[in-house]
């Protein structure tokens, strides 16, 4: 499967690219606002994977080209720029492509992290509004800490809640389960995205107050 990661140069993009590179034979395409930055990141990830004995194919390019080349597009950009980013590549989606939002809007204060729910209902709802109608939209991966994903010396043990339309959610669940140590749990349609986006602030606060290192969620 060809998987594009918009903003794949960032923390979550790096973590997902490394895990899919290590655990699958998917072609990962790192997207960026700047094609050269995308290529540099892809080369860096390939070298890292090579040092672990994984001969993965990671490509790098601009966000629109990455979108054009992929059946699945993960929008790994800051929540407040996600809708604009999706709108900016809207013409590039293949018919029937899947768009996955991992994005969470949060604010931080002296007490902790707080989910900042957009008036549209969720960041995923904003992404869906910005995407073409024939694109299947899902939301997933919110609870996977980027640093843990990128640390290939550490095993993962987490379940990823997934919401979306049938095709979108099934694809996102498959991509989650493709990562060793990660399971997927279906949490209904995209209308339920706010509930799984809000998990992230809870996990961050658990990390702070309960001293849980890189809190992940397991639903076993």
Ligand X SMILES: NC(=O)c1ccc[n+]([C@@H]2O[C@H](COP(=O)([O-])OP(=O)(O)OC[C@H]3O[C@@H](n4cnc5c(N)ncnc54)[C@H](OP(=O)(O)O)[C@@H]3O)[C@@H](O)[C@H]2O)c1
Q: How many residues bind ligand X (CB under 6 A)?
A: 24
Cβ at position 53, least distance to ligand X in Å: 26
CA dihedral sign, ordered 80, 83, 89, 93: positive
104 binds ligand X (CB under 6 A): yes
141 binds ligand X (CB under 6 A): yes
- Residues 15-34 as x/- pattern, contact with ligand X by CB under 6 A: -----------------xxx
117 binds ligand X (CB under 6 A): no
Closest CA to 24 of 16, 33, 14: 16
Which C-beta is closer to ligand X: that of 49 or that of 103? 103
109 burial (CB, 10 Å; 0-12 / 13-18 / 19+) is exposed
- Sheet with strand 72-75: strands edge to edge: 58-62, 27-32, 2-6, 72-75, 98-101, 136-139, 158-164, 182-186
67 binds ligand X (CB under 6 A): no
Q: Which position among 11, 40, 165, 178 is part of the footprint of ligand X (CB under 6 A)? A: 11
Q: Which position among 24, 61, 67, 85 is part of the footprint of ligand X (CB under 6 A)? A: 85
CA dihedral sign, ordered 28, 178, 175, 150: negative
Residues that bind ligand X (CB under 6 A): 7, 9-13, 32-34, 37, 76-79, 81, 85, 102-104, 141-142, 144-146
């Amino acid at each position: 499967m060809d998987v594009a990661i918009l903003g794949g140069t960032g923390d979550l993009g790096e973590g997902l690219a490394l895990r899919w590179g290590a655990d699958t034979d998917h072609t990962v395409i790192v997207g960026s606002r700047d094609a050269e930055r995308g290529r540099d990141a892809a080369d860096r990830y390939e070298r890292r994977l090579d040092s672990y004995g994984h001969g993965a194919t990671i490509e790098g390019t601009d966000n629109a080209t990455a979108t054009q080349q992929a059946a699945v597009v993960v929008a790994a950009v800051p929540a407040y720029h996600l809708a604009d980013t999706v709108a900016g590549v809207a013409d590039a989606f293949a018919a029937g492509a899947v768009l996955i939002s991992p994005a969470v809007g949060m604010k931080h204060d002296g007490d902790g992290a707080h989910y900042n729910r957009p008036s549209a209902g969720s960041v995923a709802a904003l992404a869906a509004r910005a995407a073409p109608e024939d694109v299947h939209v899902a939301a997933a991966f919110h609870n996977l800490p980027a640093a843990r994903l990128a640390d290939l010396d550490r095993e993962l043990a987490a379940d990823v809640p997934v919401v979306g339309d049938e095709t979108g959610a099934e694809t996102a669940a498959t991509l989650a389960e493709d990562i060793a140590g990660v399971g997927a749990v279906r949490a209904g349609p995209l209308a339920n995205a706010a509930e799984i986006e809000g998990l992230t602030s809870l996990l961050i606060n658990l990390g702070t107050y309960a001293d849980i290192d890189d809190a992940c969620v397991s639903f076993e």
